Amino acid sequence: MSPAFDPNEMVLRFRERAEAVKRRGFPPVEGPERQRVIDAANLDFQDFAMLGDATATLEDGILRLEIDLRPPSS
């Protein structure tokens, strides 16, 4: 039997993925292709970091991820 799903463990895995994107190197590409690789890495980091900041709940089989995208108040 597989272990029970823990939404907070999933969020932690996304935090770890965001950090891995920041640490990974770039392949030896040049020109426009290099910029596409950099852009893709930036999007990967953004997506993983947002999910890593989520508050996750699992109720009645429904996974909810809440992510506050409002700018910090000054």
Spatial distance between the Cα atoms of 48 and 22, rounded to a whole number of angstroms: 11
Tens of pLDDT, residues 57-72: 999 989 999 999 898 8
Q: Tell me if 41 sits within 8 A of 21, measured CB to CB.
A: yes
Tens of pLDDT, residues 18-27: 999 999 888 8
pLDDT tops 60 at residue 11: yes
Q: What does the domain layout of the chain look like in residue ranges?
A: 7-55
Mean pLDDT of 10-29: 92
State the DSSP H helix or E strand holding residue 38, giving kind and residue range, or none if neither: helix 31-52
Q: Which of the two residues, 28 and 51, has the higher pLDDT score? A: 51
pLDDT tops 90 at residue 2: no
